[in-house]
Amino acid sequence: MDNTYTKKTKWHEETQMDRLSDLPDCLLHHILSFMDSKYAVQTCILSKRWVSVWTHLPVLKLDSKFFNRVGNFRSFISQVLDHCETSNILTLSICSPRKNLARSLVDKIISFAVSHSVQELDLSLKYPIGELQNVFRCQSLRFLKLDLLCGLPLPLPNSISLASLKTLILCKVRLKSENHCFDLFSSCLDLQNIVLDHVFLTISDIFNISASALVSLTISKIIFYVAKDAKIMYYAPIKDRKVVITAPRLTSFSFTCYRPMSLSMDNSPLLENVNLSMSHDDLSDTQEEGSFMFLIEMLRQLGNARSLTVTLGLVKFLSQHSRLLEEQPFPFSKLESLKVLRGRQSCKKIPPNVLNFLVQGSPMAEELLRMFQKVCKTEKCLTAISLQC
């Protein structure tokens, strides 16, 4: 009986494999594109039908976590790139957070991306980075993510010009420029989404974010430095932390503060959603009154927002400057929804002075205020607010 069961199981497996092998190449490529390339390549041992299927994959995903030895991973990347016969690669993703790649291999990866017209490039690399700036010669790119993990310096031109680029994500990257105005994105005429996550800036004056087609901008902890020399750097004073945003089509803006900075946002009439994540420690500086004024000016720059989400830390900081707050004009003229978060949870209450400051400038102020529960006036009740229109 056991033999009969084994034979039936083997026949069933072979039948299923035959059915899979009978699929057209385009479907096989689509299926294998969901796998890490290590396992996609291993299908070559299944039968003659599968020997070269993987060499025509439109998606290549190479992750060092599937390799015990860095040498094996480096060798695998090189062989995959050498044997790939797809002329136009949709996606190339290489992740090596703990294992160093040789400069020559990084250069080979970039050359491959350029020569194979890669559309989506995702590189998470430890040092050394080789000639990584050459990635900005890849005119076919529609999506680009660079995560340099250790905050490595990335040599950049004053402006990058990628005509097809729609999404740019820079993580743990150190940007350096000696120019008065660092305008990196203005030549990317189709750039719609920018994410700057833990970006270190060593610039002489102003960091410009200028993009005519930009719809969504996420800034998660921009850190301004002043370089005394190649090895010694210190935080730039608050007056030298300047970001100028020029994005007439911007509808969504998310900002996570590390230290207060000057934010200028010219001509963003379509701004809908604003998300500000700030802790009390982030906002506290050597001169708290200076930090307060920088925050107030930032809120004014975002005055077109219809939906606002802020963290409890920002609310606390404002509430502790009641006297100064009373002297400020109301920043939001179109506000329709407001939410305060403590962690990931929506809060229920807010100090009256902060609530009034945030909503009174809106033509819907009375209606918005009626939607709130009665607010406790004690500090113990300073927990949250949730408002949705």
Can you state the angle between helices 103-115 and 70-83, rounded to 10 degrees?
Answer: 30
**DSSP for residue 306:** S
Rounded Cα–Cα distance for residues 300 and 31 (Å): 50
* Each residue's pLDDT tens digit, 329-359: 999 999 998 888 887 777 767 888 888 899 9
Least confident of 60-69, 121-130, 135-144: 121-130
Q: Please report which helix (H) or strand (E) contains residue 175, including its range.
A: strand 167-177
More confident residue, 304 or 181: 304
Q: How confident is the prediction for the chain on average, in pLDDT?
A: 81
| Band (19; pLDDT cuts 50, 70, 90) | confident
Please give the backbone phi and psi of residue 86, each rounded to the nearest 5 degrees, phi first. -80, 125
Q: What is the mean pLDDT of residues 96-123?
A: 90
Can you name the residues that pair with 338 across neighbouring β-strands?
Answer: 308, 387
**Does pLDDT of 387 surpass 90?**
no
Q: Which of 14-23, 243-252, 310-319 has the lowest mean pLDDT?
A: 14-23
Give per-residue pLDDT as tens, 249-301.
Answer: 999 999 987 777 788 887 789 999 999 987 756 666 545 567 788 888 889 99
- What's the pLDDT at 215? 97
Band (142; pLDDT cuts 50, 70, 90): very high
Q: Give yes or no for a contact between 226 and 200, defined as CB atoms under 8 angstroms apart.
A: no
Distance, in Å, from the CA atom of 160 to the CA atom of 178, rounded to the nearest integer, reads: 16
Give residue 378's pLDDT: 38
> Between 266 and 105, where is the model more confident?
105
Q: Which of 123-127, 176-180, 246-250 has the highest mean pLDDT?
A: 246-250
Mean pLDDT value of segment 42-62: 91
Tokens 């929804």 appear where? Answer: 337
What is the largest distance, in Å, between two alpha-carbon atoms of the chain? Answer: 89
Write down the pTM of the prediction: 0.85
pLDDT band at 158 (very low <50, low <70, confident <90, very high): low
CA dist list (Å): 334 to 179, 201, 250, 272: 37, 33, 16, 9
Task: Answer with the residue of higher pLDDT: 22 or 108.
Answer: 108
pLDDT at 306: 93
- Tell me: pLDDT of 62 over 80: yes
The half-sphere exposure of 203 on its side-chain side, counting CA atoms within 13 A, is 25
User: DSSP of 96-130, one letter per residue?
Assistant: ESSS---HHHHHHHHHHHHHTT-SEEEEEEPSP--
Indicate whether 4 pLDDT > 80: no
Most confident option among 91-95, 96-100, 296-300: 91-95
pLDDT, average across residues 159-186:
81
Comparing 149 with 353, the larger pLDDT belongs to 353
Q: What percent of the chain has pLDDT over 90?
A: 35
- Whether 95 shows a pLDDT value over 90: the answer reads yes
The confidence band for 384, taking pLDDT boundaries of 50, 70 and 90, is: very low
> Which of 168-177, 322-331, 351-360 shows the lowest per-residue confidence on average (mean pLDDT)?
168-177
Q: Which residue has the higher pLDDT, 368 or 207?
A: 207
The whole-angstrom separation of Cα 273 and Cα 308 is: 6
What is the pLDDT, as a whole number, of residue 118? Answer: 96
Q: Which amino acid appears at position 316 of this protein?
A: K
Share of the chain above pLDDT 70, in %: 78
Spatial distance between the Cα atoms of 288 and 199, rounded to a whole number of angstroms:
24
- pLDDT given at position 24: 86
* Confidence at 380, pLDDT banded by 50, 70, 90: very low
Tell me the average pLDDT across 197-204: 78
User: In this predicted model, what pLDDT tens digit does every residue of 207-237 receive, in sequence order?
Assistant: 889 999 999 999 988 877 776 555 555 566 6
Q: What angle do CA 222, 224, 227 make, to 5 degrees?
A: 145
Give the pLDDT band (50/70/90) at residue 92: very high
Token pair for residue 127? 């040092």
